[in-house]
Structure 1
Amino acid sequence: MKRSLEERLKEGTVIAGEGYLFELERRGYLQAGSFVPEIALDNPQALKQAYRDYMNAGSDVVLAFTYNAHREKMRIIGKEELLEPLNRSAIRLAKEVAKEHPKEEALVAGNISNTNIFDPEDSESRARVRNIFAEMVKWCKEEEVDFVNGETFYYHEEALIAFEEIRKQNLPAVITLGLMGENILRDGYTVDESCKLLSEKGALVVGMNCFRGPDTMQPYLAEIRKNVDGYVAGLPIPYRTTEENPTFFNLPDGGCGCNLPTETTFPTALDPLYHNRYELAAWAKEANDIGINYLGLCCGASPAMLRAVAEAVGVETINSKYSPDMEKHFLFGQDKTLKEHNLNYRLKA
């Protein structure tokens, strides 16, 4: 039998591949803006390939792509009747791919996320959010996922509601928070306070994901690690966020000479602002060294980036055989059979 998430965490670091939202938009199968994963019904084979690519790049988890596949988002795009079929399809496709792992069947995680309707001053919004999570987690349970990932919450109370609905179905919970530019959750909790409370209530893993790159997430991960006894997750975006612009929502690109269709580079003009894979690998090693147990990347990440993260903490992935090796390159290689006139030209090329 495959090991559970908790068993794997006890034995070492777990790698979790996320970032399907931006990756599938880049591949042409998802609309930026609405960001609803209709691909689970419209192009199931394309979704399976994305799952496969991240698993082969080192992910121990095939995360069912149901981010934004909740009742409120489906209402906005006028397709509520597709809500349950979409959720079940995304999970079933994930289970098919998880079985392909050649060493040990990958874990399958259900996924719930920020609803964008939570309002701490509105009791009706609390009830709507709870109902949204309850039905999605119920489908996760019926489809027999290994755990549920609740992510990108910028209110502590919404994260707590998500955890409570996961616990009602007796499923392990990974709960991660998205920290906006105010550097505090919108209902006044610091991320380490929120994570400590969620961990004490029984969440298996707590931490942060999305919004922030490694440079502006790492200090908060360090505080979480100091204050939480259990397992801690870190899944930043792969963009060069700064103290002045700590999230990717308002990252400027001073080198862009064109008129963007949006006020900011987010979400479709972030390309020049990527960290390279070596910077992401350096972050992963630093995070792992301080005890971040559940590591990955979020929106914007490619499989090659995730592979670099996995390899940085000692994981040999299925596709590590394709990791860079410049030995045979005609300009930069060291192979003795390469042409000397090319090697001498490399500094001028």
Structure 2
Amino acid sequence: MKRSLEQRLQDGPVICGEGYLFELERRGYLQAGSFVPEVALDNPEALKQTYRDYMNAGSDVVLAFTYNAHREKMRIIGKEDYLEPLNRQAIRLAKEVAKENEEEEALVAGNISNTNVFDSDDQASKDLVRNMFDEMVGWCKEEGVDFINGETFYYYEEALIALEVIQSHGLPAVITFGLMGENVLRDGYSVEEGARLLQEQGALVVGMNCFRGPQTMQPYVEKIRQHTDGYVAALPVPYRTTEEHPTFFNLPDGGCSCHLPTETTFPTSLDPLYTNRYELAAWAKEAKESGVNYFGLCCGASPSMLREVAETVGRVAPNSKYSPNMEKHFLFGTDDTLKSHNQEYRSKA
């Protein structure tokens, strides 16, 4: 039988592949800016292959790509009629791919996220958010997901509403915060206090995702670990955020010689600001030692990056057979049968 999320967490680290938003934009199947996952309906095979690539890179979870597939986003693009079909299709495709995992069927997670309509001072907005979550989680329940991933919340109270709705449908919850540059949630809670309260309310996993790279997320993950007793999640973006620029929203690129069509490098000019896979491996090692249980990467991550994280925390991915091995490289290899004149030339290559 397929183990539950809690059973897998009890047995060791769990890997969750995220980052579909940027990856599918990079592959040409999603529009940057609106960032709505219409790909589930427009190009289902492209979405299935992306699910598959992240699963084969080591993800224990096929996360249904319904990030931003909520009523507010669909209203903005004028496609509210697509809302339910899109959500159900994304989950069904995830379930198909999850069954392909030869070692053990992958978990399938439903996904809800920040709505961008929540207002701490407006009860009507809170009611609207609750209704938006309720319909999405209801579809997840009917489609048979294993748990719900509620992510990228920058208000504690919005995250709490998400948790309450998930629990009302009887599903386990992973809840993660997106921490903006102010270093506190927008309703004044520290991220560690918010995580502690959510765990006390019954969230199975609490933590952080998106916005911040490893260097500016890890200190707050450690605070969450210190203030909670349960399972902790960390899913940074793979960019070199700094103390001066703690999120990827305002990262400068001092080496850019062209005119950017946007005010910032976010979202389509971040390429020179990537961390490399070995920096991600160093972070994953640090995160594991600090007590993180649920690992992943968020916007910008590629399958090869996720595989590096998975292998660093002790996992062997289906595609680990394709992990780097320079032994046979014509310039830098060590194989005795390589041509010596090539290796002698490598310093001039």
Q: TM-score range by the shorter chain?
A: over 0.9
Partner of 1:98: 98
SS of equivalent residue, structure 1 residue 319: helix
Does residue 27 in structure 1 map to residue 27 in structure 2? yes
How far apart are 1:169 and its partner, in Å?
0.3
- Distance (whole Å) between structure 2 residues aligned to residue 35 and residue 293 of structure 1: 29
How many Å apart are 1:287 and its aligned residue?
0.2
Instruction: Look up the match of 2:115.
Output: 115
Partner amino acid, structure 2, of 1:34:
S
C-alpha separation in 1, matches of 2:38 and 2:290 = 38
Which amino acid in the other structure matches residue 53 of structure 1?
D
Cα deviation for residue 290 of structure 1 reads: 1.2
- How far residue 19 of structure 1 moved from its aligned partner, in angstroms, is 0.1
Query: 1:110 deviation in Å?
Result: 0.0
The 2-side partners of 1:344 and 1:119 are apart by: 65
Equivalent position of 1:249 in the other structure: 249
2:268 aligned partner: 268
Q: What's the C-alpha RMSD, in Å, of the aligned pairs?
A: 0.3
Unaligned runs of 5+ in 1: none
Q: Provide the rounded CA distance (Å) in 2 between the counterparts of 1:88 and 1:291.
A: 35
Q: Secondary structure at the match of 1:346?
A: helix
Q: Cα distance, 1:289 vs. partner?
A: 1.0
Which residue of 2 is the match for residue 345 of structure 1? 345
Q: Distance in 1 between matches of 2:313 and 2:325?
A: 19
Provide TM-score, normalisation by structure 2.
Answer: 1.00
CA distance in 1, matches of 2:82, 2:221: 37
- In structure 1, the residue matched to 2:296 is 296
Counterpart for residue 333 of structure 2: 333
d(CA) in 2 for partners of 1:288 and 1:62? 22
Pairs within 5 Å for 1:134-173: 134-173=134-173
What's the offset of the Cα at 1:347? Answer: 1.1
Aligned mates of 2:51, 2:322 — CA distance in 1: 18
Q: Within 5 A, what are the aligned runs for 1:207-218?
A: 207-218=207-218
Q: CA deviation at 1:348?
A: 1.1
Partner of 1:191: 191
Aligned counterpart, 1:317: 317
What are the Cα deviations for residues 228-278 of structure 1, in whole angstroms up to 9, with x where unaligned?
A: 001000000000000000000000000000000000000000000000000
CA distance in 2, matches of 1:234, 1:113: 16
Normalising by structure 1, what TM-score? 1.00
Question: Percent identity among equivalent residues?
Answer: 78
Give how far 1:18 is off.
0.2
| Alpha-carbon displacement from aligned partner over 1:134-175 (angstroms, at most 9, x marks no partner) | 000000000010000000000000000000000000000000
- What is the CA deviation profile of residues 205-244 of structure 1, one whole-angstrom value per residue up to 9, with x for unaligned ones? 0000000000000000000000100100000000000000
2:79 equivalent in structure 1: 79
